[in-house]
Amino acid sequence: MRRGAARQHPRRLPLRGVRPWHQPHRRSRLPAPRRRRRPPGPERADRPVHRPAGLRPRRNLGPRPPERPVIVRPEPDRDSRPWWDAVRRHELTVQRCDACGRLRFPARAVCNACRSREASWTPVSGRGRVYSWIVNHQRFAPSMTEPLTILAVRLDEGDDLLMYGNLTEPAELCEGLPVEAVFTDHDGETLVNWRPLPG
C-alpha cells in the first residue's frame, strides 16, 4: 500500500526554501507600532509605590530619611559572648585550655588538642601579621566607603590564631605585614580593626 503525502498544518504555509522552516503568517494589515517606555523624568519620580492604595512618595510618604552609617552588629552566642564583652572594654582575648594550656580562637567548647571542656580567657598583645586579605569594591549601602580592605591576621601568640577586621589606614599590603588591633566604637557597638605598624 502506497503511503500518501504528509499533510501540512492547516494554519501555516507549506515548507519551502533550501532549509525548510515554517513560514510566517500572512498579515491582513500592518503590524502595530512597538510600545515604548517613557524616559525617566520628574513626573515619574512621584509614580505610585503601591497602586491599590494609591501611595506616592512625595505626597504620602514624606521626604526621604537621611542616610545613616551602616555598622555590622555582632550576635554573640554562648561561646563568643565573653570575647565580645572584653572587646567592649577594649581588651583583646583568646581562650586558653585549663588542662593543656593551648590557646585557641575562635571560641569553642572543646579543646582540639586534649578534648578538655575547661577553658578560661586570657589577654593577648593585639599584634600579628597579615595572613590574607580581600579588597571589596561593592557598596552594600550608600554610606559605606569603597574600596574596603578586610584582613585576616595571624596573631603573634600562635600560628592557628586568626582574627579578621578592616584595614583602618592605607598601606602597601603584603603577606607578613605587621599590624596591631584597634577598637572602633560606633553606635553602641565595638569592633576590632587593624592598622599597620611603622617599620
What's the one-letter identity of residue 81?
Answer: R
User: What tens digit of pLDDT does each residue of 129-156 get?
Assistant: 999 999 988 876 666 677 889 999 999 9
Selected residue with higher pLDDT from 87 and 58: 87
Q: Are 155 and 165 in contact (CB under 8 A)?
A: no
pTM of the model: 0.62
Domain limits of the chain? 75-123, 126-199
What's the one-letter identity of residue 69?
Answer: P
What's the one-letter identity of residue 130?
Answer: V
Would you state the CATH architecture of domain 126-199?
Answer: Beta Barrel (2.40)
Helix (H, G, I), strand (E, B) or coil at 53: coil
Q: Is the dihedral of CA 94, 95, 96, 102 positive or negative?
A: negative
Distance CA 84, CA 103 (A): 17
User: What tens digit of pLDDT does each residue of 59-102 get?
Assistant: 656 666 666 655 567 888 999 999 999 999 999 999 999 999 99
What is the predicted pLDDT for the residue at 99?
Answer: 95
Phi, psi of 9 (to 5 degrees): -60, 130
Query: What percentage of the chain carries pLDDT values higher than 90?
Result: 47
DSSP for residue 58? I
